[in-house]
Amino acid sequence: MGLNLAQKIIKNHLVSGEMVAGSEISIKIDQTLTQDSTGTMAYLQFEAIGIPRVKTKKSVAYIDHNTLQAGFENADDHKYIQTVTSKHGVYFSKPGNGICHQVQLERFGVPGMTLLGSDSHTPTGGGIGMLAIGAGGLDVAVAMGGGPYYLTMPKVCKVELKGQLNPWSTAKDIILEVLRVMSVKGGVGKVVEYAGEGIKTLTVPERATITNMGAELGATTSIFPSDDVTLKFLKAQGREQDWVELLPDADAVYEEHIVIDLSTIEPMAAKPHSPDNVEKISSIGKIKVDQVAIGSCTNSSYMDMMKVAAILKGKTINPNVSLVIAPGSKQVLTMLAQNGALADMVAAGARILESACGPCIGMGQAPCSDAVSLRTFNRNFEGRSGTTSAKVYLVSPEVAAASALTGVLTDPRELGEAPKIEMPKEFVINDNLVIEPAPEGSNVEVVRGPNIKPFPLNKALSDKVEGKALIKVGDNITTDHIMPSNAKLLPFRSNVPYLAEFCLTPCDPEFPERAKANGGGFIIGGSNYGQGSSREHAALAPLQLGIKGVIAKSFARIHMANLINSGIIPMTFENEADYDTIDMNDELVIGNAIEQVKNADTIVVKNLTKNTQFNVKVTLSDRQVQMILAGGLLNYTKVNNG
């Protein structure tokens, strides 16, 4: 039986598990990327593993998210990331060099390789034929340390593109059509693999627009083959040597099959407030537009920008529209400056922003109240723009530029002939904002501003786990209760000791002090403990306070996994009535803990204060048992890859 693209790459990188959809597998990671908002924590975690140099083929740290510097915090993060990456063998892409996914595609991506990035739009790399997956910072830290990445073997959905796009219809419209068909949940547990004659008509940056927004399908990732089009792109980037052909077998099997006829695709928009709320521009009508924002990792390539410049050339934007444009990388910006396209944009009234995420992450350019904002970005959730009452429409650069001129949502076909922009034979290459790591990391001093604090690291499980029941909470405690997140605490995401001072304080303001005074202990929880978000800090803050185990009636799945990653034992009462027998400050002991965790799914806990004992269940996979014994995922990685 033939293999599809995803299966071929997975097979080449398989470390454990069977390639059967739905079962757990682990794969070797070739490349990693981080951006600054998740990167600081990822490098603190990598440091905690204690491995001197990264073990990937190439790891890159980008600064593209928090480039505004109102206070010292962002600048401190940047300095820390620059020095810690130099020490440990990671390339550093300075602020100004561009948005991580755009630059990764231009300068680092290699077809057939695996890429793990601490950003949800890492699948952009699928445009060049990589298996590119977004993950948490901890997973990326482990991958940099040489540990495999664990995932559920995905189903593979073939999206067959037939025919060719008409003028003014774009790659953005293709992915909007896929979103309309599959919905924002339609890709969960799947890789979306593009095939068919139509893909030959799409350049790598166009393919990358499609794989980028595959994240909005909830897909594990999306991927295109590596073919002549890919070779042409890599040649133009001076990286011909990185090309390998990668095609699915002729008899490849797919779990799902969708056919899209490109010739039927019209200019479209995702209406507020969901990327799958898609409708043709022609049927939405001419709504008044207040703001147009062009850029982001979805649509900021050279080709995108050149089309925008061609539409704006010699014209003036509507007086009621604010137009901002952020070219995706230094390479793109340089080329626009050299060929005069930048001047055309500026002359038309566009405001040029730094090559960074900018308004996409709400860094400046929040629209006015009740505004209609057209954005070439990938997400239009309520409030993401920074203005809750704004209505954000996701559109192609062509629709955005046309609408900026008219002041109303405009079908670009009304402008007449579409500009013809050729892919350059050679891109301008100047990597002087990519800093290579020091050849000898041991001499590099890592600079830590006041906001950079070491990551808490657990110890290997001791044979006697003992401590007080430090807090007893009821049912449905959320990760927001465990680790509150608000605008005041957000800048401290790299400062776990500070955050821990707020752990579980919505339930009991005295808890952090009590935990510290007792040198740690146990948390007693009700049903569905840890529900809500996947917030890693909801496990890190208890770890910082010395929590050794959580005994609850039941756990939310992701929080339980995060506890295990931190080496905190999640235990459920065998008999829920035992919850009532425990009071705060009772002394609890698990004797013979190593053997008990290794051998049994039932563990005996003694309550010394009440002179009673009760059974708890521990449901762990073999790998999770090893993680608990080692004292968490980072220690486990150290033991297995150090």
* The one segment of 190-198, 218-226, 356-364, 553-561 that binds ligand F3S by CB under 6 A: 356-364
Reduce the DSSP state of residue 553 to 3 states and report it.
coil
Q: Which helix (H) or strand (E) holds 234?
A: helix 228-236
Query: Is residue 291 a contact residue for ligand F3S (CB under 6 A)?
Result: no
- CB atoms closer than 10 angstroms to residue 256: 14
* DSSP structural state of residue 473: -
Provide the residue count of the chain: 642
**Extended strands (E) in 354-402:** 372-375, 391-394
Count of chain residues binding ligand F3S (CB under 6 A)? 12
Shortest CB 357 distance to ligand F3S, Å: 3
Among 297, 345, 400, 603, binds ligand F3S (CB under 6 A): 297
* The one segment of 19-27, 79-87, 269-277, 353-361 that binds ligand F3S by CB under 6 A: 353-361
How far is 209 from 124, CA to CA, in rounded Å? Answer: 7
Transcribe 286-315 into DSSP letters.
--B-SEEEE-TTTS-SHHHHHHHHHHHTT-
Query: Is residue 133 a contact residue for ligand F3S (CB under 6 A)?
Result: no
Shortest CB 326 distance to ligand F3S, Å: 8
Based on CB atoms, which residue is closest to ligand F3S, 36 or 290?
Answer: 36
**Extended strands (E) in 271-344:** 278-280, 291-294, 322-325
Q: Which token pair is 195? A: 């095939």
Transcribe 126-179 into DSSP letters.
GGGT-EEEE--HHHHHHHHTTPPEEEEPPEEEEEEEES-PPTT--HHHHHHHHH
Q: Which of residues 152-191 bind ligand F3S (CB under 6 A)?
A: none
Query: Is residue 378 a contact residue for ligand F3S (CB under 6 A)?
Result: yes
Based on CB atoms, which residue is closest to ligand F3S, 106 or 119?
Answer: 119
Based on CB atoms, which residue is closest to ligand F3S, 186 or 295?
Answer: 295
Query: Is residue 375 a contact residue for ligand F3S (CB under 6 A)?
Result: no
- Bridge partners for 25 per DSSP: 151
- Mark residues 83-122: x for contact with ligand F3S by CB under 6 A, - for none: ----------------xxx-----------------x-x-
Shortest CB 281 distance to ligand F3S, Å: 22
Q: Are 545 and 493 in contact (CB under 8 A)?
A: no
Shortest CB 70 distance to ligand F3S, Å: 18
How far is 292 from 271, CA to CA, in rounded Å? Answer: 14
What are the b/e assignments for 206-223, b being 16+ CB within 10 Å? bbbbbbbbbbbbebbbbb
- Mark residues 260-289: x for contact with ligand F3S by CB under 6 A, - for none: ------------------------------
- Mark residues 43-82: x for contact with ligand F3S by CB under 6 A, - for none: ----------------------x-----------------
Based on CB atoms, which residue is closest to ligand F3S, 360 or 504?
Answer: 360
Based on CB atoms, which residue is closest to ligand F3S, 360 or 524?
Answer: 360
Shortest CB 91 distance to ligand F3S, Å: 17
How far is 124 from 222, CA to CA, in rounded Å? Answer: 8
| Residue at token pair 């890190």 | 540
Based on CB atoms, which residue is closest to ligand F3S, 99 or 182?
Answer: 99
Based on CB atoms, which residue is closest to ligand F3S, 51 or 297?
Answer: 297
Shortest CB 305 distance to ligand F3S, Å: 15
Shortest CB 208 distance to ligand F3S, Å: 12
What amino acid is encoded at 464 in this protein?
K
Q: Are 397 and 299 in contact (CB under 8 A)?
A: yes
Shortest CB 543 distance to ligand F3S, Å: 29
Shortest CB 386 distance to ligand F3S, Å: 12
Query: Is residue 357 a contact residue for ligand F3S (CB under 6 A)?
Result: yes
Transcribe 494-549 into DSSP letters.
T-HHHHHTTTTTTT-TTHHHHHHHTT-EEEEE-TTBTBS---THHHHHHHHTTEEE
Residues that bind ligand F3S (CB under 6 A): 65, 99-101, 119, 121, 296-297, 357, 360-361, 378
